[in-house]
């Protein structure tokens, strides 16, 4: 193994950054990183934070970082930024980084752009989680931007999802997007230092009992005063211990997610590379009634299969030269 990669897996900051960039951007280092990472994953507790903008996700994560470090845990953080052409998209990560640094802790924080394309956000974030896990982080926090599909993606990626609510922002329980309440394992009512927090707590306690299965715990927190943060971490650590799979099974599950997303990306790349004439011919077979849609899809997959990645493309998948 190259020495920088060895160092990355020991948690050395600069090398870890290089390893993360490799899997995020699919550089020529990616195959070596992935090969080194998967035999080591499966130990970290992965926690996603979702909730309305301004609920205090970043501030609460920063408070949880301090608490986790106090417990002797090493911490990795992923802030998924909207890929805004205006901000350039590293706003959230910067905020957590500043807050984490203010607490004087050695914490690895990484911002990822939420690229809107298939396999973009979810596959890159899950590979980054895996690199942080392999590098020995005990806990990995992920902040979602709370738009579109990101809640679902976060809940697939994380062992536990915390829904962060706060009073006074028009995010009454009935305003929370359908499915988000059901998806969360823990409800955190943040800004508990504000008087209106009690009403949000009561609403969420009522909603928790409507959820199928066990009612998610409702924890009142104040990222500002630190109230309830240790309680939230206790709840997370206990819930993780209760649902944690053996490391070997977790390792296979995580590698499966990566293989699936890599295969989807590669297939998508090949399908978009297919020659228009060939595509048009397949379309004609459906239009003329010679083939069904299902049959045509099958043919597209078969033709795409025959395409190999061009030599100049940097592909995670090691391909035979055509
Ligand atoms: N009073 C009070 N204010 C808080 C608390 N936690 C966060 N805030 C404030 O709420 C505002 C939003 O906090 P953020 O942590 O940026 O919220 P966020 O959910 O990460 O916001 P986005 O990333 O934009 O979605 C900031 O001004 C915080 O200082 C708290 O516990 N009490
Ligand atoms: Mg934030």
If you count them, how many residues does the chain have? 322
Using one digit for the tens of pLDDT, what is the confidence trace for 238-247?
999 999 889 9
Residue pointed to by tokens 């043919």: 299
To the nearest whole percent, how much of the chain has pLDDT over 90? Answer: 53
For residue 120, what are the CA distances in angstroms to 82, 132, 212, 260?
A: 12, 18, 31, 13
| CA of residue 183 to ligand 2 center, whole Å | 20
Strands 139-143 and 45-51: parallel
Indicate if the pLDDT at residue 321 is higher than 50. Answer: no
- Tell which wins on pLDDT, 47 or 183: 47
**Predicted pLDDT of residue 118:** 38
Q: Work out the number of other CB atoms within 10 angstroms of the CB of residue 19.
A: 27
Task: Give the strand order in the sheet containing 108-114.
Answer: 108-114, 75-82, 139-143, 45-51, 160-165, 186-189, 218-220
Q: How far apart are the first and last CA of the chain?
A: 28
Q: Give yes or no for residue 92 CB within 6 A of ligand 1.
A: yes
Q: How much distance in Å is there from the Cα of 143 to the middle of ligand 2?
A: 7
Burial class (CB in 10 A: 0-12, 13-18, 19+), 106: exposed
297's tokens: 């899809």
Closest CA to 189 of 179, 211, 177, 204: 204
pLDDT in tens, 292-313: 999 999 999 999 988 876 544 4
Distance 137 CA to ligand 2 centre (A): 21
Q: What percent of the chain has pLDDT over 70?
A: 79
Check if the beta carbon of residue 24 is closer than 8 Å to that of residue 124. Answer: yes
As a whole number of angstroms, the distance between CA 132 and CA 312 comes to 29
The pLDDT of residue 64 is above 90:
yes
State yes or no: pLDDT of 54 exceeds 90: no
Ligand 2: centre distance to CA 191 (Å): 14
189 pocket-lining for ligand 1 (C-beta < 6 Å): no
Ligand 1 atom closest to the Cα of residue 223 is 31
Query: Do 185 and 162 touch, CB atoms closer than 8 A?
Result: yes
Helices within 26-90 (DSSP H only): 30-37, 57-70
Who's near 65: CB < 8 A, 6+ residues apart?
75, 77, 96, 99, 100, 103, 105, 107, 141
DSSP state letter for 245 = P
Which pLDDT score is estimated for 25?
Answer: 85
Report pLDDT digits (tens) over 106-144: 688 887 766 544 334 556 888 999 999 999 999 999 988
| CA distances to 29, 208, 215, 221 from 186, in Å | 38, 9, 9, 12
- Could you give all domains of the chain from N- to C-terminal order, each with its CATH number? 42-248 (3.40.50.300), 249-306 (no CATH)
260 has pLDDT over 90: no
pTM for the predicted model, two decimal places: 0.86
86, pLDDT greater than 50: no
Q: Which is nearest to 65 in space by CA: 12, 114, 107?
A: 107
- The residues placing their C-beta within 5 Å of ligand 2, an ion, are 57-58, 92
Q: What angle, rounded to 10 degrees, do the helices at 30-37 and 13-25 form?
A: 110
Question: Of residues 174 and 10, which shows the higher confidence score?
Answer: 10
Q: Which atom of ligand 1 is nearest to the CA of 164?
A: 19
Exposure letters 130-153 (e unless 16+ CB within 10 A, then b): bbbbbbebbbbbbbbbbeeebbbb
* Cα 227 from Cα 237, distance rounded (Å): 17
Q: Does 223 sit in the ligand 1 pocket, CB within 6 Å?
A: yes
- Say if residues 203 and 189 touch (Cβ distance below 8 Å): no
Q: Is the pLDDT of residue 159 over 70?
A: yes
Average pLDDT, the chain: 84
């Amino acid at each position: 193994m190259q020495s920088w990669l060895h160092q990355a897996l020991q948690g050395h900051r600069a090398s870890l950054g290089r390893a993360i960039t490799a899997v995020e951007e699919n550089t020529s280092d990616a195959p070596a990183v992935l090969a080194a990472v998967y035999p080591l994953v499966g130990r970290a507790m992965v926690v996603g934070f979702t909730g309305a903008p301004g609920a205090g996700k970043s501030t609460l994560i920063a408070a949880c970082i301090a608490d986790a470090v106090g417990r002797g845990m090493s911490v990795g953080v992923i802030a998924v930024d909207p890929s805004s052409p205006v901000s350039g998209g590293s706003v959230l990560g910067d905020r957590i980084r500043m807050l984490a640094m203010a607490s004087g802790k050695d914490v690895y924080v990484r911002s990822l752009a939420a690229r809107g394309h298939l396999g973009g956000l979810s596959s890159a974030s899950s590979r980054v989680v895996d690199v942080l896990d392999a590098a020995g982080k005990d806990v990995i926090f992920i902040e979602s931007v709370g738009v579109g599909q990101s809640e679902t993606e976060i809940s697939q990626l994380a062992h536990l999802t915390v829904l962060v609510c706060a009073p006074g922002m028009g995010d009454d329980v009935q305003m929370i997007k359908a499915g988000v309440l059901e998806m969360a394992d823990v409800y955190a009512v943040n800004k508990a230092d504000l008087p209106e927090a009690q009403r949000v707590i009561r609403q969420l306690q009522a909603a928790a009992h409507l959820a199928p299965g066990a009612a998610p715990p409702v924890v009142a927190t104040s990222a500002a005063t630190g109230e309830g943060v240790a309680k939230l971490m206790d709840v997370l650590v206990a819930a993780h211990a209760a649902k944690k799979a053996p490391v070997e099974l977790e390792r296979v599950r995580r590698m499966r997610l990566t293989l699936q997303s890599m295969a989807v990306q590669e297939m998508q790349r090949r399908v978009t590379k297919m020659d228009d004439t060939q595509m048009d011919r397949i379309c004609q077979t459906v239009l003329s009634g010679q083939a069904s849609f299902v049959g045509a899809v099958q043919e597209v997959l078969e033709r795409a299969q025959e395409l190999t990645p061009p030599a100049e493309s940097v592909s995670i998948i090691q391909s035979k030269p055509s």
